[in-house]
A and B are shown apart, each in its own frame.
Chain A
Amino acid sequence: MYKYSEFDEFFVRRRVEEFRDQVRRRLDGSLTEDEFKPLRLKNGLYLQLHAYMLRVAIPYGTFDSRQMRQLADIADKWDKGYGHFTTRQNIQFNWPKLADVPAILDALADVDMHAIQTSGNCIRNVTADHFAGAAADEIADPRPTAELLRQWSTDHPEFQYLPRKFKIAVSGSSRDRAVTKAHDIGLRSIRDAGGSPGYEVLIGGGLGRTPMIGAVVREFLPESELLAYVESILRVYNLHGRRDNKYKARLKILVHETGIEKLSREIEAEFAERKKWFAGVDPELIEALKSAFKPPEFNLSRTGAFERRLEKDSGFRAWADTNLFEHRCSAYSIATVSLKPIGGTPGDASANQMRALADIAERLGHDEIRASHEQNIILPHIRKDDLPEAYDVLAASGLQTANFGLVSDIIACPGMDYCALATARSIPIAQEISRRFAALGIEREIGSMKIKISGCINACGHHHVGHIGILGLERAGVENYQITLGGDATETAALGDRAGRGFSADELIPALERLVEAYLRLRDSCRETFLEAYRRLGPEPFRAALYPETGKLAA
């Protein structure tokens, strides 16, 4: 894992002092609220409905036991004993006080962490495949690239006041687990015909009010030219992105309004100019970043403990069945720890749960932890024969939910229970769906199912790319939920189709039940997933299930 350099340490401490001073200057009137707001946002601090909210960066989702324990201590000391893992591979604290925030930032700096650029109209925390460095299907570890981009984008003087936020995701596998096609820039590690490393570059993806799938702007970008090229994209965006309407200010709108060919020419022209002044990043620095993410030394021995436990414990078997993923090393597994207990708040972990996860990672997991954009925690390197022991620790902390990828493994933004932008609640909907399908006992029969819920059009809950997406809106003074169908967040990314009129909170769960029943009835075998069935059959039979009254009217 990457360890802070002296400069990182110096920079982060200086930034904490700068923010402490900014808080002081807000309190003495030197800064107006309008001026202070973007400054606090660039340090991760929002003001929500009930309190401030601090969004802490977990760059590319990678952290360790020491950092996790510090997050737990922060939750206990300055918050209400828990944290919320988000779809941006960050963690949020919902209850800090403004005056405490500089001290919290200092506590983060103590363990090489920060909250810089987790919000605001700047380049946000760079995200990456949460199975990076562990997945059997990986071509290149995306984290050296993500770390390079983190450093380059941090406090970049040109790009702190962009038209709107700017998100970059990196994937190093043919399987896209980083939703790269829904980011302003999506990077995919590839090699050219001669075997040189580089990237396929996509731009203009994004969800929100006008969802768009990213388009390829460069089929192959040599690795050494990454920063000059990304800088060119950002410069074109900073100068030409719309600033007259915040809903039209993302790069995707510039791509849409200019056209990808024309914009691509503008970027290439800027790139040609940029390269005159750019001698490339020091290759030694690139190598140092790569070696920082070298895989740990794996213990290849087997004792058979894994198989013995599988045989005698159905609970463990169920967990192993859903929550494990193939590791590059056959003696190991990637374990997903579900933060979606039945009826719980998606993504929340108590301080004690964080400590349990830290203990497992330290003792059994080469001290590596990942936060996934699906709001779960990943233990990327657990030896198969240590899984029974890890599972027992998880179970003792209520973290053994065996539902990864199932209907109750729901992504949900905080919604109007916390968020000042929300138009409806998300969490109670997620809780109810999870309880209802657990009570029906058909989760495993349904199989792979991604339900994603957003409490407003900004789509933090990624509803457009859920197999079933749910968008909470206000209609005539009450909460109303629109359903989209057939979305996909992977390498076969697709935006869901809106099914029809929205549902009230009371109508929603029965409607989803009808939808799932229809799928179970219509699928051609128990191996055909909901998404596959939807792609084969089209929306009509599913719409008919959602809106039985229209079927009757037509008949």
Chain B
Amino acid sequence: MVKKFTAKVITTNRLLEGDAVYLTRDGIWSPEFGDAELFTDPAGASLALETANRQTLLHVGAYFADAETDPSGRPSPTHYRERLRSMGPSNYCHGKQAERANV
């Protein structure tokens, strides 16, 4: 049985800032999970990860995060770890959730 490929985004933490970022369709890193390119085929995903991991001076090493499409059509995390990472801690309004509130 061939296991169905779970859609993925590529993510890492920026070397200088340390914050979580996501690879967009334009090949740049966005702080928003929703901006990420959603990979639905394994070959394309692997190739993109390999390319991303050549940017060793920008980030600390990229990896796949499982994702699904939310009702607005943007990718969103399926696992609670990546959900927390894309928002910020639950005890204070710090991190991305605070940055969003300030926009």
State if A and B touch, Cβ cutoff 8 Å: yes
Q: Which stretch, A45-53, A207-215, A252-260, touches the partner chain B?
A: A45-53
B16 at the interface (CB under 8 A from A): yes
- Number of B residues, CB within 8 Å of A: 25
Cβ contact within 8 Å between A51 and B95:
yes
Cβ contact within 8 Å between A98 and B90:
no
A425 at the interface (CB under 8 A from B): yes
Determine the distance from Cα of A479 to Cα of B88 in the docked complex, in whole angstroms: 17
Cβ contact within 8 Å between A27 and B57:
yes
Determine the distance from Cα of A32 to Cα of B89 in the docked complex, in whole angstroms: 29
Cβ contact within 8 Å between B19 and A50:
yes
Residue of chain A at shortest CB distance from B20: A50
Chain B residues near A98: list those with CB within 8 A.
Answer: 15-18
Instruction: Tell me which residues from 18 to 49 in chain A have a Cβ below 8 Å from any Cβ of chain B.
Output: 26-29, 32-33, 47-49
Interface residues as binary, A431-458 with B (CB distance below 8 Å gives 1, 0 otherwise): 1000000000000000000000000000
- Among B15, B78, B91, B96, the residue within 8 A (CB) of A431 is B91
Cβ contact within 8 Å between A49 and B20:
yes
Cβ contact within 8 Å between B84 and A49:
yes
Cβ contact within 8 Å between B60 and A47:
yes
Instruction: Tell me which residues from 96 to 115 in chain A have a Cβ below 8 Å from any Cβ of chain B.
Output: 96-99
Cβ contact within 8 Å between B84 and A33:
no
Cβ contact within 8 Å between A97 and B16:
yes
Residue of chain B at shortest CB distance from A427: B91
Q: Given the interface contacts A49-B85, A97-B16, A416-B84, does A32 sit within 8 Å of B56 by beta carbon? A: yes
- Among A28, A97, A416, A428, the residue within 8 A (CB) of B18 is A97
- Interface size range on A against B: 20 to 34
Cβ contact within 8 Å between A26 and B15:
yes
Chain A residues near B56: list those with CB within 8 A.
Answer: 29, 32-33
Cβ contact within 8 Å between B13 and A47:
yes
Instruction: Tell me which residues from 31 to 86 in chain B have a Cβ below 8 Å from any Cβ of chain A.
Output: 56-57, 60-61, 78-81, 84-85
Instruction: Tell me which residues from 406 to 443 in chain A have a Cβ below 8 Å from any Cβ of chain B.
Output: 416-418, 425, 427-428, 431
Q: Given the interface contacts A49-B84, A51-B95, does A417 sit within 8 Å of B19 by beta carbon? A: no
A345 at the interface (CB under 8 A from B): yes
B94 at the interface (CB under 8 A from A): yes
Instruction: Tell me which residues from 10 to 25 in chain B have a Cβ below 8 Å from any Cβ of chain A.
Output: 13, 15-20
State how many angstroms separate the Cβ of A35 from the closest Cβ of chain B: 11
Cβ contact within 8 Å between A50 and B57:
no
Determine the distance from Cα of A98 to Cα of B78 in the docked complex, in whole angstroms: 29
Q: Given the interface contacts A32-B56, A427-B89, does A479 sit within 8 Å of B15 by beta carbon? A: no
State how many angstroms separate the Cβ of B23 from the closest Cβ of chain A: 17
Most A CB contacts (10 A, CB to CB) among B56, B88, B89, B90 go to: B89
Determine the distance from Cα of A306 to Cα of B48 in the docked complex, in whole angstroms: 69
A478 at the interface (CB under 8 A from B): yes
Chain A residues near B13: list those with CB within 8 A.
Answer: 47
Chain A residues near B17: list those with CB within 8 A.
Answer: 51, 97-98
Determine the distance from Cα of A48 to Cα of B17 in the docked complex, in whole angstroms: 12
Cβ contact within 8 Å between A50 and B16:
no
Q: Given the interface contacts A29-B57, A32-B56, A95-B94, does A418 sit within 8 Å of B89 by beta carbon? A: yes
Interface residues as binary, A318-361 with B (CB distance below 8 Å gives 1, 0 otherwise): 00000000000000000000000000010000000000000000
- Among B79, B88, B96, the residue within 8 A (CB) of A477 is B79
Binding site for B on A (CB under 8 A): 26-29, 32-33, 47-52, 80, 94-99, 345, 416-418, 425, 427-428, 431, 477-479
- Give 5 pairs: A residue, B residue, CB < 8 Å, sorted on A: A47-B13, A97-B17, A345-B91, A416-B81, A427-B89
Q: Given A27-B57, A47-B18, A428-B90, list of 11 further CB < 8 A pairs?
A: A33-B15, A48-B18, A50-B19, A50-B85, A51-B18, A52-B18, A98-B17, A345-B92, A417-B91, A427-B89, A427-B90
